[in-house]
Structure 1
Amino acid sequence: MSRPSLARRDVHLRELMDDPDCDPQRLQTTLRRFGVVNRFVSGWDVLYRKRIRPMLQNQGGTGRILDVGSGGGDVIRRLSSLAEKDGFTVRWTGVDPDPRAYETSSAASPPNAQFLCTDAEAMWSTGERFDLVISNHVLHHLGADELTSFAEYSRRLSSGLVLHSDISRSRLAYGLYSAAILPVAPGTFLRVDGLRSIRRSYTPAELAATLGSPWRTSVPYPFRVLAEAPGSA
Structure 2
Amino acid sequence: MGRSFAERSHETELMDTEAVSVEDYRACLKDLATVNALTLTHRPILAWLDRATRRLAPNERVTVLDVGYGYGDLLRKIHAWSGRKGRAVDLVGVDLNPMSEPIAQAATPSGVPIEYRTGDVFDYKPERPIDFVISSQTTHHMSNEELATFIRWMEQITARGWYIADLHRHPVPFHVFGTLARVARWHRFVQHDGPVSIARSFRKADWDSVLKAAGLEPKAAEIRWHVPFRLCVSRLK
For the criterion TM > 0.5, the same-fold answer is yes
Task: Indicate how the Cα distance of structure 1 residues 136 and 105 shifts in structure 2: closer, same or farther if over 3 A, else same.
Answer: same
Query: 2:153 corresponds to which residue?
Result: 153
**Higher mean displacement: 36-45 or 113-122:** 36-45
Report if aligned partners of 2:52, 2:236 keep a CA contact under 8 Å in 1: no
Structure 1 counterpart of 2:86:
87
Q: Percent identity?
A: 22
2-structure distance, mates of 1:42, 1:151? 24
In structure 2, the residue matched to 1:189 is 189
Normalising by the residue count of structure 2, what TM-score does the alignment of the two structures yield? 0.86
Q: CA deviation at 1:169?
A: 0.4
**Structure 2 vs 1, CA of residues 98 and 54 (structure 1 numbering), >3 Å: closer, same or farther?**
same
Structure 2 Cα separation of the partners of residues 217 and 186 of structure 1: 31
Give the superposed CA RMSD. Answer: 2.1
1:193 alignment partner, SS class = helix
Residue aligning to 2:113: 112
TM superposition score normalised by structure 1 = 0.88
- In 2, the alpha carbon distance for the partners of 1:156 and 1:25 equals 37
Which amino acid is the alignment partner of residue 221 of structure 2?
Answer: W
Match of 1:54 in 2: 51
Identify the residue that residue 223 of structure 2 maps to in structure 1: 217
One-letter amino acid of the structure 1 residue matched with residue 82 of structure 2: A
Aligned to 2:235: 229
Distance in 1 separating the partners of 2:165 and 2:187: 26
Judge conservation of contact 1:128–1:157 (CA < 8 Å) in 2: no
Give the Å deviation of 1:3.
5.5
Cα distance in 2, alignment partners of residues 5 and 93 from structure 1: 38
**Does the residue aligned with 1:58 lie in a helix, a strand or coil?**
coil
Determine helix, strand or coil for the equivalent of 2:226.
coil
Distance in structure 2 (CA, Å) of the matches to 1:40 and 1:208: 29
How many residue pairs get aligned? The number is: 227
| CA-to-aligned-CA distance 1:68-112 (integer Å, 9 cap, x gap) | 111121111122212212222211111012101122112223522
User: 2-side partners of 1:22 and 1:112: how far apart?
Assistant: 29
Following superposition, the deviation at residue 222 of structure 1 comes to 2.7
Q: Secondary structure at the residue paired with 1:219?
A: strand
Counterpart of 1:131 in structure 2 is 131
- 2:70 — aligned with what? 71
* Number of the residue aligned with 1:30: 28
Larger mean Cα displacement after TM superposition, 17-26 or 76-85 = 17-26
Q: Where in structure 1 are there 5+ consecutive unaligned residues?
A: none
Aligned residues of 1:29 and 1:188 also touching (Cα < 8 A): no
In the alignment, residue 32 of structure 2 is paired with which amino acid?
F
Instruction: Name the stretch that deviates more: 210-219 or 97-106.
Output: 210-219
* Structure 1 Cα separation of the partners of residues 51 and 126 of structure 2: 28
- Write the distance in 2 (CA, Å) between the matches of 1:82 and 1:7: 37
The SS at the match of 2:99 is helix
Instruction: Provide the rounded CA distance (Å) in 1 between the counterparts of 2:191 and 2:24.
Output: 12
Q: Superposed, which structure 2 residues align to 1:168-183 within 5 Å?
A: 168-183=168-183
Equivalent pair of 1:215/1:229 in contact (CA under 8 Å): yes
Contact 1:34 1:74 in 2 (8 A): no
